[in-house]
Copies of this chain bind each other. A is one copy, B any other.
Amino acid sequence: MTSLQHVNPRVRGIRVSPQSVLQSLAERKRKKKKIGVQKPFQEVIDLSSGDPHRAGMKPVSFIRQVLAACLYPELLEDESVPLDVRLRAQRLLEDCAGGSVGSYTPSSGLLHVRQSIAEFITRRDFGVPSYTKNIYISSGSHRALMVIVKLLASGEEEARTGVLTPMPCPHTLPTLLDEAGVTLVPYRLIEERGWAVDLEELHRAVTTARGRCQPRAIYISNPGNPTGHVQTRESIEEVIRFAAAERLLLFVDEVYQDSVIGLDREFISYKRVLFEMGKEYADTVELVSSHSLSCTCIGECGQMAGYMEIINMDPEVTHFVDTMLCTDISAPVTGQLALDLMLKPPKPGDTSYDTYTQEILLTLTTLSQNAQRALELLNDLPGMSCQPVMGGIYVYPHLYLPSEFREEAKTLEVEADVLYCQKLLKEERVLVGAGHHGGATSSHHLRLCILVPCDTMEKVLARLCSFHLRLMDGHCGPERSVKDKNNQKRS
């Protein structure tokens, strides 16, 4: 029998995110409910990860209709199905081998879909050209990142590949880097500046890392997961110049590009900025940018498809991207087709145009309202403060926990924000994520997905506020709960 000592040491070394632990706990609560052990609140509401359909957001009808028709082509003859849906499904099926979504696709994805992606990028970037040959479809942006990181992974000790990683970062990222066998090189985002990327901090990170590992890439999430920050053009230029000077591959996760809600910001892609900085950068900086179906307006997380565009990589090296995609599994065909639909939505005049436009607008309005409402309420609580949300689908409040609570966590050998989430789950049946800074700082945060129906958001905020006030009261005594909030935050 395989014993623990035979397990791949790298696999044994994979850090388990606190998220997994919390989710198992939530799962047990759900099961208890099923077997009839009731609590005052019926359902566990889970806002800990970016999974909008789970929380009750609705899918985009057009996408679902076309996919249904692709799966079951008899619908192509059904006149109750909108004409543009049927035409689109027919067109997509023509590009599937044997006219079926049940056949394999090339490992980098369906050619037709890759063409649609390149056209979308070119439109989005006001004419900066994108070429089909640079587009690789994968089973989501996480998987795209895995391919790139594995490509670069090599060496041990000080020769080991390092990847500059923001703190905070998407909670799945440290695990991914562990599995790929590269060193996580943390760089702090600056909370007081709305979680902006700071050039000096990047320099500090890369300088400190040298000698400890070989930094070869930098990961950026823009709009920020979980920070909600959206970079300015100047900030993007800084990062590009930094990557160029340090000869780092730049991996930009741009999954939430469709959801900038800060009034003074817009989404500008790294690709576009790179090209507008002139040939010195446009022709040299190695850039990989990713996008996926789990973006804001679509939220089709369960359909597992995304893409990456790779710029300025040596063809000898991209050859191995192909090799890796061959050994990896392809994105499911329906997911690939959904990408096409996401990036080539109905046009004015098409039967589905109005419904489509209304659905997208409703999603963005919901997101924007939830962000505003969450900020209002959370910033009003003692011991909590939250940076503005400019984009993305999370709020990421800072917790200033009473020292007694922090001591309790220490005794239990758990991070204080994880303990907070456990208690919140137990008492209010709300699951939110605990901040992840990979031990880089001792500050504590919560991560809440705000892409949920407004009434769900209200319920969650009410339960969270009630729990939080109880916690602060219980630990500080009633006389301290009304204390000046700013004083407490400094504690």
Contacts and interface: CB of A to CB of B under 8 A. Distances in A.
Interface of A: 1-4, 6-9, 11-12, 14, 16, 20, 23, 27, 46, 49, 51-57, 59, 61, 64-65, 67-69, 71-72, 75, 78, 80, 96-98, 100-106, 139-140, 142-143, 150-154, 161, 172, 175-176, 178-179, 216, 247, 249, 284, 286, 299-304, 312-314, 316-317, 320, 323-324, 326-327, 329-335
A302 B104 contact: yes
B8 A152 contact: yes
B320 A286 contact: no
A189 to B, nearest CB: 24
A59 B102 contact: yes
A299 to B, nearest CB: 6
A9 B320 CA distance: 11
Contact of A103 (B20, B78, B301, B326): B301
Of the candidates A2, A51, A153, A161, the one having the most CB atoms from chain B within 10 angstroms of its own CB is A2
Given A11-B323, A151-B7, A313 B249 contact: no
B320 A12 contact: yes
A154 B54 contact: no
A9 B151 CA distance: 9
Contacts of A286: 1-2
Given A20-B326, A303-B333, 4 more contacts: A6-B216, A12-B320, A53-B98, A53-B100
A75 to B, nearest CB: 7
Contact of A27 (B64, B80, B106, B299): B106
A81 to B, nearest CB: 9
A23 B98 CA distance: 16
26 contacts: A1-B314, A2-B151, A2-B249, A3-B316, A6-B216, A7-B320, A8-B152, A8-B320, A9-B154, A11-B323, A11-B324, A46-B97, A51-B97, A52-B102, A53-B97, A54-B104, A56-B98, A64-B72, A68-B75, A102-B302, A102-B303, A104-B302, A139-B304, A172-B327, A302-B333, A304-B332
Given A303-B333, A304-B329, A332-B303, A317 B4 contact: yes
A215 to B, nearest CB: 12
B72 A2 contact: no
Given A8-B152, A302-B333, A2 B101 contact: no
A449 to B, nearest CB: 12
B8 A154 contact: yes
Contacts of A179: 324, 327
Contact of A2 (B46, B313, B332): B313
A105 B51 CA distance: 10
Nearest to A300: B102
B299 A150 contact: no
B327 A4 contact: no
A55 B104 CA distance: 11
Contacts of A313: 1-2
Given A98-B54, A334-B332, A151 B327 contact: no
Given A1-B286, A98-B54, A327 B175 contact: yes
Contacts of A153: 8
Contacts of A78: 80
